[in-house]
Structure formats: C-alpha cells, structure tokens
Structure 1
Amino acid sequence: MKNILNYGDGPKAIYEVLKQQIIAGELKAGEELKIMPLAKEMDISIVPLREAIRMLAAESLVELRPRRSPIIAKMNERELIEMNQIRGALEPIVLADAVPRHTEATIAACQTLIEQDERSTDLWEKVELNRQFHLSLLEPSIMKRSLAIIGDQYDGIARITQFRVVDHGGLIGKHNFEHEAILDAVRVANVEKAVVLMTRHIDHATVRARHELSQAVEAGPAAGGSAAQATKG
C-alpha cells in the first residue's frame, strides 16, 4: 500500500482512504492491519487510525480480534444475497419514480456511460462505470433516502466484483445489453417495462454471483484470493 497524502488528520478521512483500498482490492480479504506499521506508513498517529478501523468494523469491512491485529473481513454468499435483496427491493421502486423525471440530458448521460463501458478495456473502470450507470439511472428520483441506501450497496458489490471482473475479466460487456434494454424503456417513459427489466437484471446478477461464490467455496483455499469470484449487474 502506497503512502497516502492529503488525507487530513481525522478518523473519518483515514476511514475513507482505507475503505477505498478495501473496495478496490488493494487490501485483500484476510489481510492483517498491523496498527504500528500502518500508522508509520500513512504518517499518522495511532489514535485516529484505531478509530477509523472501528468505523470500518461497524460496516463489516474489518474484523476486530481480541489481542490480535484486525483483518480485512471476508465477504460471503449471504452478504452478497442481502445486498442484492436490498437492491432488488429498492431499485425498481426508485426507478419507477425516476422514469417520468428523466430528461433528454439525463438519458444522454446514461447512454454515454454505456458507451464508455463498451469501449473501456480497464476492468476496474468498468466496475465503476457499472455503478455510475445504475445510480445515474436512478438519480432523477426524489427518493433520496432510498438512493443513499442503494448507493451504499455498491461499495460491497464492488468488493465482490473485483474478484471476478478484475482478476478474471470474465464478464466484460455481458451486462451491457441489459443496460441498453432498461435505458430504452426509460427513453420512451415505459415505467412498467423498465421496472420489469431492472428486476430481472438484478435477479440475473444475484444468480450469477451465487454461482461464482459457490465455485469459490468448492475450489477452497488452494485457489487463492481469486477464488472468491463474483459478477456485476
């Protein structure tokens, strides 16, 4: 992990830096966070670092262990299913509210994200573009609390996605045709069709990810970090 500059001196700023490194896979599941070496590397004091780690533990990103160094928490099938259940419950509702509020400009922005995804060969960029597309599709909604909850799910999904997409590149472009279909329904203000397609899209992502995580369990520890594979949607 490279030294971090301009992160400020508060626990929240340190938390944000570490959170992004966990999401991006720079800090791997099961990796120990040794407090003293990490504080020295980041050029910070131990007190705000410990507080930042407690904040990460509260979000199940870090596992605290008595008399031992905390570790980066592992993700499992149950957590993935829960995240997609939240998405499956909320995204169609928020999308239904967003569809009649879309404009030519917001639809064009969504289309641009699809096109950027299709052109991109950077796997982590594709993960980010997937997130941006979903949130941009929902952004016109006035249901801001629900939008915030949905946005939170993508941090966890990004962690899982990196094993399959970044380590293996196995799903490049496979979700784009579903994104195009949803956007086409939004473009003609067909709320019912957009909601059905979004629900199906999230269901497909859940099925694919469960399959990948099940394979990872069967592969066992010998397969290494890349065994914990998953998908994006």
Structure 2
Amino acid sequence: MIKRDEEHEGSSERWLLTYSDLITLLMIFFVIMYASSKVDATKYKSISNSFRITFGGDASIVDGGEGTSVGVNNEDSKLQETKKNLDKYLKESKLTGSVTTKIEERGLVVSINDTVFFQSGEAEIREDALKKIIQIGNILKQQENYIRIEGNTDNKPIHNSKFQSNWQLSSVRAANVVQLLVEKCGFPPEKLSSVGYGEHRPIASNDNEEGRIKNRRVDIVIMNSKFNKVED
C-alpha cells in the first residue's frame, strides 16, 4: 500500500519536469530571437544593398526602426538617378563649370552660377540662358518633392535704381527662377518656394574673386521628404 502511494506521488510530479523543460526552451527561443533582432544595422544594410543590386530592385527591404530604412532608401535612389541624369546633361551642354550638383542631408542641391544666367546687378534671367534652365527644370521634374529656390550673392554692396541691397537682388532672382519653372516646365506652384539670403550664406571666402564667384549663385534644392512638415 505504501509502495503504491509512492508511485502515485512520483507520477503526479512528472509533469513539473516537463513543464520546466518547456519553459527553459521558450526562454532560450526568445533569447535567440532577441539577439537576432540586434544584428548590426550597417552590416544588414550592406547585405540588403547587395541583394538589391543583384536583383535590380530599388524598394526598401525592411524598416530598421527610428523612422529609417535598413534596406535601400527608395527616395535616395531617385535623387541619385536625377543627379546622374542632370550631370549627363550638364556635361553634354558644357555647363559643368557653371552648374554643380551635390546630395546633402536636406536633398539634391543644384547650384547655378550667376555669371552665366544673370547680368551683373540684374535679376532677369539672360535670354540665352532661358532654355538651359528650362532643360534643367524638366530633368528635376522627375521628382515630386518640394523644391526651394535660394538666391545668394557675394558680400560686395549693391545700390542701384532697382535694388537697395543684396537681399533684394537675391530674392528677386530666386523668385524669377520659380516663375520660369512654373510657367515653362509645369511645376505645381504649391511645391515651390523662393528665398533670398543675400551675402549671408557663403560657401567660399569673399576675400578673393574665386570665392566671390562661387558665392554668387542660385541654388535649386530638391528637398528630402523628411522635411515635408517644414514645407507644408
């Protein structure tokens, strides 16, 4: 009788061993899953890019959290493609010394040197430059992003019958480029804005003519969509 009771008691506790084994396995499973989720994002992105290039895709593979894509950023790819097409046109038109392109955090920046497109101290776009800006606009129209036109000058004071300051000159030049893009390229007006910075945002030294030439420019900025809330 005592032996039967002991056997019954032992059998009733076997499930505890099975239960503890199951809990242990579950814990190991979740530890492995957690460790896998912490894979190096940089390495993962590199692998993702390799797969995209191999299979010719351009869409994001997975969201890497914190509002960024671990896979290929489709918008960045489009900006790079637009830059490539624009650089090709600039080279064919022998404008590479007058128009430069670069991709920054805020988007694709197209810098137009004022000496080619404007007369000194004037805001009207030169007649022989209209077609060039229109062609540039048609290439940039591939993008649906907001576009900001920024006028800039060197630090030499201006004072003539039309403009009392570099601020005025840079602002009107930027506005004239906006008007051209809307009227001749069909850009939606609500996607465009213009601003004049005068001499206050130089990209080179104003102590020599070479630097002043670089500072006299109109920048067409294809804004990264992460700044949409700023533009809305």
Fold similarity call, TM over 0.5 = no
- Say which structure is richer in strand: 2
TM-score calculated relative to the size of structure 2: 0.26
Larger radius of gyration: 2
